[in-house]
Amino acid sequence: MLRFDDQVVLITGAGRGIGHQHALFLAERGAKVVVNDYGVGLRGENGGNPVFADAVAAEIEAAGGTALSACCDIGDKGQVDAMMAGVIQRFGRIDVVIHNASVYADLGSFADARVEDLERIMRVNAVGGWNITHAAWPHMIEQKYGRVVITGSGAGFFGRRKDHAYSIAKAALMTMTKLLATEGAALGIKVNLIGPVAWTDQSKAQGIPPLMEKFAAPVQISKVVAVLAHADCPVTGEMFHTGGGFVARVFVGETQGAVFDVERMTPEDVLAGMPRIMDESGYIVPPNSDRSGAHLSASIAAANPAFAAALEEAKRNRSQ
């Protein structure tokens, strides 16, 4: 059994829904849980209510576990830093961050969408994810160990019709996962992302089909998160779509592409070469932009001897 004894796990948005299930599930397996929830409504209104975080922390304590309630606005860096200081003072370490908190906008056409909704949702999803991970990162570096699980969405992976601001905010977390995984690899820190499908009040408001109430309980998401949050997690920088017992890897791929003569390249050449550009056979999955850039450079070098020579010289100069 995957256990979390003596590990400190901070979960944002843990007062309700999927985050609530994460808190109970990991506490049952020995984790000391920091229950972060700002007590806002589904659209981010009326924040600052500690009742949700307090209730979940009390539920864990009543079951014999250890929990700390933290009503904190994760969009505010000062509040997050103060919360993390309190966690370190209480427990002496932070092992796992699960960024689950989210807010939503009303569904509608892009013509009717409001930039205020984008800013509000980005503040919780993207800025909040940045703040909470940034606050934990130095402690994870010091202890040479950490796990970060970020909650994305199918909307972020692929875009959800009529859900523009939420889709964009969740997409930002994909890049955050990749870059932090790259930096954390040498530090003992693993960072992964899930796109959950589960029946909650929030998902119902987003239009998730009622069929999912019976077949997609939030606890099924927690079982996948437990793997990514555990010391035995075998992957980093990966993204998973999961719900109702289904788990799939999601990745950004790159085709082999086409290389044109830069001296004679025209828009017409690009148009004619589109079948090769779009051909998915032999695609690659770069783990980060450096590897994608290396693929681009190697492709150009294969078709351009002068570039190949200049590239080799640049490599030699860097190694000296």
User: Using CA atoms, how far apart are residues 75 and 122, in angstroms rounded to an integer?
Assistant: 9
E strands, the chain, where? 8-12, 32-36, 66-70, 96-99, 146-151, 189-196, 239-243, 246-250
Q: How many CB atoms lie within 10 A of CB 123?
A: 18
Question: Radius of gyration over alpha carbons of the chain, in Å?
Answer: 22
104 is annotated as an active-site residue: no
Torsion angles phi and psi, residue 189, rounded to 5: -110, 130
Query: Are the CB atoms for 29 and 64 separated by under 8 Å?
Result: no
Of the candidates 32, 166, 178, 190, the residue annotated as catalytic is 166
Q: Per the residue annotation, which of 32, 38, 104, 170 is the catalytic one?
A: 170
Q: Is 166 a catalytic residue?
A: yes
Query: Residue written as tokens 């796992």?
Result: 96
Alpha-carbon span 19 to 27, nearest angstrom: 12
In this structure, the dihedral spanned by the alpha carbons of residues 73, 75, 81 and 86, taken in order and rounded to 10 degrees, is 20
Residues with catalytic roles: 166, 170
